[in-house]
Amino acid sequence: MEFSGLSGDVILGTLGQILPLIVGIIIGIIALEVGMYLFLARVVKTKHALPFTLLAPAIIAITLFMVYPLIFNVLLAFSDLKRSTFPCYSPVALGACELDHLYGLDYAIKNFTDVFFRVRDGEILGWGRLLRTADSTFPVLLGRTVMWTVANVIFHFTIGMGLALIMNMKIRFKGIYRALIVIPWAIPGVIVGLTWKQEFHAQYGFVNVLIQALGGQAISWLDDPTAAFIAVVFVNIWLGVPFYMVMLLGGIQSIPGDYYEASEIDGANAWQRFNRITLPLLRPIIIPAITLDVIWTFNRLDIIFLITGGGPQESTNILVSALYNAAFGPAATQQLGFAAAFSIIIFLILFAFALVWITTSGGLKEIYDR
């Protein structure tokens, strides 16, 4: 039996090539773990040999996949690395182009300045253009990114909270409803983006078919700037609501029922119970959830990239899509040094937000006080 060029022999042959490698990796990891434990226990003679041994894989993974890329990204920001200067940084053809040095503070100043301004001969001529259109400047893209993030987070929280409250009630088939609501969260983002792109088709998409069935007129969702922005926001809201529902539902179910019973005896209505009991006790969950959601949404590229591609007329591009375009866009615009500096600026914006938001909201006060 053959399916899309795959036969049983091909599959078995591939497994025969991969399995020895997987087994070898597993045996190697076990040998390293045992060796590390024996070294710590018998040579170093620490009583924490087992905890250190168990933590070692996580520490190595964090170093390789988080610490090293961060350091390398900062190093790139101090370089003039782009498509035209690739040979300069090649170990084989090092020095193939005319550069005084590969890394330097002057490159960093230029990269960070170019994110904000257009400079010629040391004179600032105006806001820098991050994309092809004239209005794709940092302030415009930042404003659109903030609008995109705020709209998504507000609807994520409000709809997620409403669904969590409903799922906490005594209703029939509750398990089925929960499973259906979580489905968007379980679907890979690529599939979601490509599917919804077809659903927003001006002529054949389900969205316009539904609008016309209700007596409305079809909308060119992907050809109108405002409609396209609404479309990508809607899809991202659809994707993010299950996260809030699961988080908030778990928090609501952990609140002792005695609080609500006592408040009912005192004559509190439903809104007062929600405002005075549910929200305050959910704060340690709400604050981290909003923080994570802001960071994820601010950096969300796949939905915009797959549905609109940043169009029409680059009207749905946000900062992270401009960053992607600078690093991996057309060959003429591949500027990795500039993109690295751009990514550091985005990181600093999000870091400042998280620091101020968590500090001022007091969402983690209960954790600190313990």
Segment 339-346 shows an average pLDDT of 94
Helix-helix angle 319-328:336-361, to 10 degrees: 160
Q: How many helices (H) and strands (E) does the chain have?
A: 16, 4
Residue 311 half-sphere exposure, CB side, CA atoms within 13 Å? 11
Q: Give the integer Cα–Cα distance in Å for 129 and 135.
A: 7
Name 227's Cβ contacts closer than 8 Å, sequence gap at least 6.
219, 220, 221
How far is 107 from 113, CA to CA, in rounded Å? 10
> Tell me, what's the pLDDT at 94?
56
Could you list the residue range(s) of the whole structural domain that residue 40 is in? 2-74
Handedness of CA 348, 350, 356, 358 (dihedral sign): negative
Same domain, 119 and 204: no
For residues 189 and 260, membership in a common domain is answered with yes
13 assigned to some structural domain = yes
Cβ(240)–Cβ(156) under 8 Å?
Answer: yes
The answer to the question of residue 20 being in a domain is yes
Give the separation between CA 142 and CA 246, rounded to whole angstroms: 30
Q: What span, in angstroms and rounded, lies between the C-alpha atoms of 264 and 282?
A: 19
Q: Is residue 65 located within the same domain as residue 104? A: no
Average pLDDT over residues 65-82: 90
Q: What is the arithmetic mean of pLDDT over 136-153? A: 94
Same domain, 118 and 99: yes
Tokens of 115: 């994110």
The CA-CA-CA angle for residues 38, 42, 44, to 5°, reads: 100
What distance in Å separates the CA atoms of residue 273 and residue 261, rounded to the nearest whole number? 10
| 18 and 93 share one domain | no
Rounded to an integer, what distance in angstroms lies between the CA atom of residue 67 and that of residue 64?
6
Domain count, the chain: 3
Residue 133: inside a domain, yes or no?
Answer: no
173 and 98 housed in the same domain: no
pTM, to two decimals: 0.84
The single residue listed with the structure tokens 């923080």 is 291
Token pair in block for residue 339: 């993109």
Q: Are residues 195 and 271 in the same domain?
A: yes
Q: What is the pLDDT of residues 192-247, one digit of tens each?
A: 999 999 999 888 889 999 999 999 899 999 999 999 999 999 999 999 999 999 99
Q: Tokens 């985005």 correspond to what residue? A: 346
pLDDT surpassing 80 at residue 271:
yes
Asked whether residue 167 falls in the same domain as residue 299, the answer is: yes
Least confident of 10-14, 77-81, 146-150, 292-296: 10-14
Instruction: Give the Cβ contact number of residue 321 at 10 Å.
Output: 24
List, in order, residues 6 or more apart from 129 with CB less than 8 Å away.
Answer: 118, 136, 137
Is 238 inside any structural domain? yes
DSSP string, 202-247: TTT-HHHHHHHHTT-----TTTSHHHHHHHHHHHHHHHHHHHHHHH
132 is a domain residue: no
Reply yes or no on whether the pLDDT at 277 is more than 60. Answer: yes
Assess whether 214 and 157 both reside in one domain: yes
Question: Is 174 found in the same domain as 121?
Answer: no
**Mean predicted confidence (pLDDT) in 348-354:** 93
Does residue 359 form part of some domain?
yes
Give the pLDDT confidence score for residue 370 in this predicted structure: 54
So what's the pLDDT on residue 2?
44
Both 289 and 332 in a single domain? yes
122 lies in the same domain as 268: no
Asked if residues 36 and 56 have their Cβ atoms less than 8 Å apart, the reply is yes
Segment 53-78 mean pLDDT = 89
Give domain status of residue 103, yes or no.
Answer: yes
Half-sphere exposure of 232 (CA within 13 A, CB side): 30
- CATH number of the CATH domain containing 179: 1.10.3720.10
